[in-house]
Structure 1
Amino acid sequence: MKKVFILLVISFLTYPVFSQNQWVEQTNGIDKSYLRYSPIDASDGHNVVIGGWYKKIFTTTNSGSNWTMIEYGDTANSPIEKTIDVSIIDKYHIWLGTDNGKIINTSDGGTTWQLQFYDTTITNFINYIKMFDLQNGVAMGNGKSNAGPAIILKTANGGKNWNSVNTQAFGGYSGDMWRRIDFVNPNIGYFFESGVNPQKLYKTVDGGVHWDTTNFSQVSSYLTILKFYNENIGFAYTFGKILYTLDGGNSWDNLTINDDQWGMDIAYIKKGNSFTVALATIASNIYFSSDTGKTWTSDTTFRNSAIYSISFPNDQNGWVLTGAGGVINKIYYNGNGLITAIDNKNILPNNYSISQNYPNPFNPSTIIQYSLPFESYVSIVVYNILGEEVTKLVDGNMPAGLHKIRFDGSGLSSGIYFYSIRTTSSENNKNFLKVQKMVLLK
């Protein structure tokens, strides 16, 4: 254990990161009295939005040289309305989720606003909102009470309609669940459910309609932050422990650090086919890793303040919100860029494999994940206990990488089933064959 700790300290001191000690405070146009635990989102290096209290937000179109305070809605109705999460596509299109269950949108940079969703029979607290483009987005809210189950909302028409889609009820409470849910695209998302024993990490591959538990048993208490880079690579944090997965949550590695405080935000700094992950804790630290979590370094610029939110829209620009007691008192900007990053090619699978389906036993559906080091012809077939073919899940050429497929046993009887994978590739002239057992239990 001592040797591991020494190596970890060395990597923290020597690993290159986002340019340190070049953060500058931005104050022009900012009224800090409206900022509490504020979310921040940037669509690029110029256009940024910060959520606030009392129906106020702050926007910039010039990287923060000037900020504009914008008031949305009628302050006479719910005057203390808080913005819990924000999503910006460009300088014109911004979406807000509020603490009283509203989704609000502007298409002209904040001159006019539209109330897109407000239905207290479904939810009274929007915890999370993310727009992937001008049409497709996902939001999450509580049920009818603050301790109620989570509700997944989706839109495919820019928010003209937000529809509740999930068929399962998740527990939790309002205020911080946006830190424990993340969708990487309109179909694939993850959600960590607290308040249950054991703790559960759920995954959806059909836009939130169905959720399956993953093989997650890394924490016994509370996961404070969760965010995925893509459908396979994700990072999470609990007190003093950084967790990461490279296979869509099926398996996790972890690294213990000398920081047992609350995790506040995770951001991915992209550069071409490369990325660096940034993880912020309330204990004034931002940790960076450019090798998918193997080694980390910390930026000590913010030692005297708590960090609440971070945003890195690219490898040249970054924002950090700091303060104390939940009050945001400083907005920092760094426009000097990222020093190093890794190439995603380094994380392609080294071998052919197929994982045990999860969940298992299952009812009625389960996920099967497999990896290909080369582009290959793939055949995945499900058989019953008599050896009779039930269905063919995959039959064709697939690119190198990690893949997953859902098997739905709704029309089948309970029992033992088998699934086999067979691959061939012209790149390595090797065949791969493996059979796994799964149990359908109704």
Structure 2
Amino acid sequence: MRQSLTILLIVSLICLSAYPQSGWVAQNSGTTSKSWNVYFLDGNTGFIPFNSGEVAKTTDGGTTWNKITPNPGGYLFSNFWLNSNTGWITGLSGQIKKTTDGGATWNTQTSGTTSHVFNIKFLNENTGYAAAGSGFTNGALLKTTNGGANWTTSASLPAVAMFNIWATDENHVWATGLYGKLYRSTNGGTSWDTSSISGYPELRGVHFINNTTGWLVGGFPTTIVKTTDGGATWTAQSAGVSSYLLSVCFTDVNNGWVSGAEGTVLKTTNGGTTWTKEVTGTTVSLYSVFFVNSTTGWVVGDSGKVFKTGGLTGLEDQSLSNGTSPGSFELSQNYPNPFNPSTRISYSLPEDGLASLKVYNILGREVTTLVNEMQEVGSHSVDFNAANLPAGVYLYELRSGKYRSVRKLTLTK
């Protein structure tokens, strides 16, 4: 009976993915301020920081956006969230702030730089990286190993502004900046290899799906490049447009998107061998694109513009739950995702009780049990190592008392 119900959940998930909303649809952000960045935890919960100093949150896939109060303040560039409670925002003049209560309060962290912090990424609750710059110079690469209580600056300071940063694990990190500069580390930022992309573009976006395969995008000139050896060498891809490209996001080795100036959104289904331009219905610059799976994503930009494509707003996660789940019962999207070979799964329990967290393959067969014990109310996390499993889509299920939730994760190799 249990396996039949699990298979039914999987079928429901596949059906939802098979009938996505088509095209890009405008959403009402409630502001006309510019946004440089968007981040989603799953198909429902997402966050957008604005240059007005506000942060907007949605819990229904963007159907409604509400301002998080009190206003964090300051011109904001980037945000990153581990779960619905813990997140960071960055801004002008070295600004980094952290919340552990969903944005109700924000604590200022000492970044150690006066440059603008353009982007921030975290691997877990302790290890995070940030990229910074001021004007065309004063670049900085920052790292923390205690959740941002302390930030250290790389000894080999970049001579140019750094716009974006990406990490796949504790060792492999990439950062991009002006004049085609790429900084690459294989030891967690202890040392960096420096190289330049042909044409010396302003490299704005970086995304790696594992330690070897990644993409960079930029402008002046229009640039998309791909690596399959961790960044040692890069191959140019044809964008088919002349727009300044600003952001890149991939959900697996094949499916990816790029956003840029003049309302540009490009899509590939073959790893970038070919890119096609999508209709967004806008001409404003779109600074950040983010997808939670191969069909559902958002893009944000000038004048408070937010667009969504795919998904069945507000229904995806509900269809995978059994019973009524209060706000304190939460199964977060694993991070990183896609992953290879390890990822972290975080969740919250509304009360003390027996908790069960299991992983299933796409056929509904149990792969492993990660948790099966009495646990206290509150937040928990567990690491899942899939080194011995084949690449593919898996599901993980959390049960506790009358509550239940299921999510997808993608293993790449």
TM-score by length of structure 1 reads 0.60
Matched residue, 2:157 = 169
User: Is this contact kept in 1: 2:207–2:215, CA < 8 A?
Assistant: yes
Of 145, 150, 155, which aligns to 2:144? 155
User: Is this contact kept in 2: 1:91–1:109, CA < 8 A?
Assistant: yes
Secondary structure at the aligned position of 2:256 is classed as: strand
Deviation of residue 73 (structure 1)?
5.8
Evaluate the alpha carbon distance shift between residue 254 and residue 231 of structure 1 in structure 2; reply closer, same or farther with a 3 A threshold.
Answer: same
Matched residue, 2:42 = 44
1:69 matched to 2:101? The reply is no
Matched residue, 2:163 = 178
Deviation of residue 129 (structure 1)?
0.7
Secondary structure at the aligned position of 1:223 is classed as: strand
Of 254, 258, 271, which aligns to 2:236? 254
Secondary structure at the aligned position of 2:110 is classed as: strand
* One-letter amino acid of the structure 2 residue matched with residue 207 of structure 1: G
* One-letter amino acid of the structure 2 residue matched with residue 58 of structure 1: A
Distance 1:315 1:155 in 2: 31
User: Is this contact kept in 2: 1:20–1:301, CA < 8 A?
Assistant: no
Within 5 Å, give how 1:247-286 maps onto structure 2. 247-270=229-252, 275-286=254-265
User: Is this contact kept in 2: 1:40–1:49, CA < 8 A?
Assistant: yes
Distance 1:83 1:74 in 2: 9
Deviation of residue 333 (structure 1)?
4.6
Matched residue, 1:204 = 185
* One-letter amino acid of the structure 2 residue matched with residue 93 of structure 1: T
Deviation of residue 74 (structure 1)?
7.0
Secondary structure at the aligned position of 2:118 is classed as: strand
Deviation of residue 303 (structure 1)?
5.2
1:209-261 deviation digits (Å, cap 9, x = unpaired):
211135x5422444343322222111123434421111112222223333111
Evaluate the alpha carbon distance shift between residue 20 and residue 333 of structure 1 in structure 2; reply closer, same or farther with a 3 A threshold.
Answer: closer
In the alignment, structure 1 segments of 5+ residues that lack a partner are 1-16, 76-80, 338-343, 345-397, 400-442
User: Is this contact kept in 2: 1:269–1:278, CA < 8 A?
Assistant: no
User: Is this contact kept in 2: 1:55–1:82, CA < 8 A?
Assistant: yes
1:269-304 deviation digits (Å, cap 9, x = unpaired):
24xxx6511111213232222322222223223354
1:372-417 deviation digits (Å, cap 9, x = unpaired):
xxxxxxxxxxxxxxxxxxxxxxxxxx99xxxxxxxxxxxxxxxxxx
User: Is this contact kept in 2: 1:20–1:299, CA < 8 A?
Assistant: no
* One-letter amino acid of the structure 1 residue matched with residue 155 of structure 2: T
Deviation of residue 206 (structure 1)?
1.5
Deviation of residue 203 (structure 1)?
0.9
Q: Over alpha carbons, which structure has the higher Rg?
A: 1
Matched residue, 1:192 = 176
Matched residue, 1:60 = 58
User: Is this contact kept in 1: 2:209–2:251, CA < 8 A?
Assistant: no
Matched residue, 1:104 = 97
Secondary structure at the aligned position of 1:327 is classed as: helix
Of 276, 299, 305, which aligns to 1:329? 305
* One-letter amino acid of the structure 2 residue matched with residue 55 of structure 1: G
Greater relative contact order, per chain length (Cα 8 Å cut-off, separation 6+): 2
Distance 1:299 1:200 in 2: 29
In the alignment, structure 2 segments of 5+ residues that lack a partner are 1-17, 314-337, 339-386, 389-413
1:232 matched to 2:212? The reply is yes
Deviation of residue 305 (structure 1)?
4.1
1:74-128 deviation digits (Å, cap 9, x = unpaired):
75xxxxx111111012111111011121211111111122112254xx3342121
Distance 1:224 1:18 in 2: 33
* One-letter amino acid of the structure 2 residue matched with residue 106 of structure 1: T
1:1-46 deviation digits (Å, cap 9, x = unpaired):
xxxxxxxxxxxxxxxx99674433222xx3213x214311111112
Distance 1:158 1:64 in 2: 28
Evaluate the alpha carbon distance shift between residue 331 and residue 268 of structure 1 in structure 2; reply closer, same or farther with a 3 A threshold.
Answer: same
Distance 1:41 1:111 in 2: 18
User: Is this contact kept in 1: 2:143–2:152, CA < 8 A?
Assistant: yes
User: Is this contact kept in 1: 2:111–2:152, CA < 8 A?
Assistant: no
Within 5 Å, give how 1:358-373 maps onto structure 2. none
User: Is this contact kept in 2: 1:137–1:186, CA < 8 A?
Assistant: no
Secondary structure at the aligned position of 2:163 is classed as: helix
Of 265, 281, 302, which aligns to 2:281? 302
Matched residue, 2:131 = 140
Evaluate the alpha carbon distance shift between residue 37 and residue 255 of structure 1 in structure 2; reply closer, same or farther with a 3 A threshold.
Answer: same
User: Is this contact kept in 1: 2:24–2:279, CA < 8 A?
Assistant: no
Q: Percent identity?
A: 24
Distance 2:19 2:197 in 1: 32
Matched residue, 1:128 = 119
Matched residue, 2:377 = none
Matched residue, 2:348 = none
* One-letter amino acid of the structure 1 residue matched with residue 152 of structure 2: N
Secondary structure at the aligned position of 2:68 is classed as: strand
Evaluate the alpha carbon distance shift between residue 327 and residue 18 of structure 1 in structure 2; reply closer, same or farther with a 3 A threshold.
Answer: farther
Secondary structure at the aligned position of 1:208 is classed as: coil
Secondary structure at the aligned position of 1:279 is classed as: strand
User: Is this contact kept in 1: 2:295–2:309, CA < 8 A?
Assistant: no
* One-letter amino acid of the structure 2 residue matched with residue 186 of structure 1: E
Distance 1:37 1:189 in 2: 25
Distance 1:331 1:188 in 2: 32
* One-letter amino acid of the structure 1 residue matched with residue 286 of structure 2: I
User: Is this contact kept in 1: 2:45–2:57, CA < 8 A?
Assistant: yes
Matched residue, 1:353 = none
User: Is this contact kept in 2: 1:96–1:103, CA < 8 A?
Assistant: yes
User: Is this contact kept in 2: 1:320–1:332, CA < 8 A?
Assistant: yes
Evaluate the alpha carbon distance shift between residue 304 and residue 191 of structure 1 in structure 2; reply closer, same or farther with a 3 A threshold.
Answer: closer
